[in-house]
Amino acid sequence: MIKLIRTLLLSGFFIWILNSCSSVQAEGNLLNDKVKGMNYSGPGGGPFGPEPFTSMKAIGSNFVAFIPEAVVYQNSLKMKHAYSGDKAWYGETTEGVLEGIYQARKIGLKVMIKPHLYPGIDLTGFERPTFDRADTAARRAYYAKRYEYIQTLDFKTRKRSSWRGDLIPKDEAGWEILSEEYRKFILSYAVLADTMDIELFCIGTELKAMALEKPDYWRNLITEVRGIYSGPITYAANWDSYDQITFWEDLDYIGIDAYFPLGDHRIPTVEQSVDDWQKYKEKIGHVQMSVDKPVIFTEWGYESEEYAGRTPWESSSPFNEEVQANLYEATFQSFWNEPWFQGVFIWRWSPKDEFSTGTYNFSPKERAAEKVLEKWFKKD
């Protein structure tokens, strides 16, 4: 089955399916159990083995989210997604996603597919010189030449940015290009999700400008996805704009990438963080009541460092795993028992040495926060 789906995707056969599929909207089958999930986009090279999925399952996880990623070239608005090979993070390619699904399913984990976009720059016309990277002067000269070339490019986006939430073309001609590119990307994974009976599908992640300025596009995309995929659908809104999304009623779940700032505490206590959560919890509850949809934290987590709750999306402080554990405990205490809260996908599960920095990453694996996760995941 995996070889068949890979062949269909790589051959472009899904385009035929997209052009011929029904657009009749069908209600997704809602999840029965609390989501105890992990986001996973690694490893850098393939293939997968049973780990990391066995360690996820061991602490009580029942879900894993795979993250296929495509680059959007801001100077052309064309998209490129690595189906296999290329110089890409293996877990973000179609081949890696398929292999990951296979390994996760073998041990009974459910799956969410959560595509991401990355804003990039097409440097096809740039003549890359050969140089010794150990030569500081040569390396500086290369980057200076690269910078000069980038300044000559005509960017089609409203602003040049490294965050997907800023992606929006500066005119309607550009929107026609990007909207169709994204439509094909998402619908190709809707085909995969339906073919493999994936339990949850996310139609977008943190695309703030696109979601707020083009809501009708998203409603039409949701209808198309439902014509292909029969399961439940969500969208992963950034923490600072989930309350501005106007198409929650068309989805099955309110998805939030929940990196809410939780105070300016060097080493926050659980009690302090519970208090810091209350204003956000009240607002989330109001949105939930207004659309009558369950809430899932499609991403949520903290780095193992001091001040981790201050700006959870970035790191710059000394290592401290107690902080990460306290923030985890406070969040579970604040949300887990709410009847409208469907669960979480932790960002992210990975070994401590996956990145060159060794220490600073979001993973709770083999840290104090892992015990907090296990306690809450195994409560039900």
Model pLDDT for residues 281-296, shown as the tens digit of each residue: 999 999 999 999 999 9
Phi, psi (degrees; rounded to nearest 5) at 287:
-65, -45
The predicted-structure confidence for 133-189, as pLDDT tens digits, reads as follows 888 998 999 999 999 999 999 999 999 999 999 999 999 999 999 999 999 999 999
- Give the pLDDT band of residue 13 (cuts 50, 70, 90): very low
- Please give the pLDDT value at position 41: 81
Cα separation, 61 vs 53, in Å, equals 9
Mean pLDDT computed over 316-337: 96
Mean pLDDT computed over 11-16: 43
Closest CA to 189 of 41, 18, 16, 371: 18
How does strand 69-73 pair with strand 79-81?
antiparallel
- Please give the pLDDT value at position 380: 67
Cα separation, 28 vs 46, in Å, equals 33
The residue ranking higher by pLDDT, 52 or 47, is 52
Cα separation, 185 vs 204, in Å, equals 10
Contact predicate 360/305, CB 8 Å: yes
- Please give the pLDDT value at position 361: 77
- Please give the pLDDT value at position 25: 35
Domains of the chain (ranges, CATH numbers)? 30-119+157-377 (3.20.20.80)
- Please give the pLDDT value at position 49: 84
Give me 49's structure tokens: 């083995």
Check pLDDT > 90 for residue 198.
Answer: yes
**HSE on the CB side for 331, CA within 13 Å?**
27
Phi and psi based region of residue 263 (left: phi greater than 0; alpha: psi -120 to 50; beta: remaining) = left
The predicted-structure confidence for 74-127, as pLDDT tens digits, reads as follows 999 999 997 655 566 788 899 999 999 999 999 999 999 999 999 999 999 998
The answer for residues whose C-beta is within 8 angstroms of residue 128's C-beta and 6 or more apart is: 142
The predicted-structure confidence for 336-377, as pLDDT tens digits, reads as follows 999 999 999 999 898 555 554 455 578 999 999 999 999 999
Cα separation, 101 vs 114, in Å, equals 13
- Please give the pLDDT value at position 33: 94
Return the DSSP state at 336: T
Phi and psi based region of residue 12 (left: phi greater than 0; alpha: psi -120 to 50; beta: remaining) = left
- Please give the pLDDT value at position 177: 98
3-state secondary structure of 132: coil
The residue ranking higher by pLDDT, 72 or 2, is 72
How does strand 200-205 pair with strand 110-113?
parallel
- Please give the pLDDT value at position 18: 40
The predicted-structure confidence for 223-276, as pLDDT tens digits, reads as follows 999 999 999 999 999 999 999 999 999 999 999 999 999 999 999 999 999 999
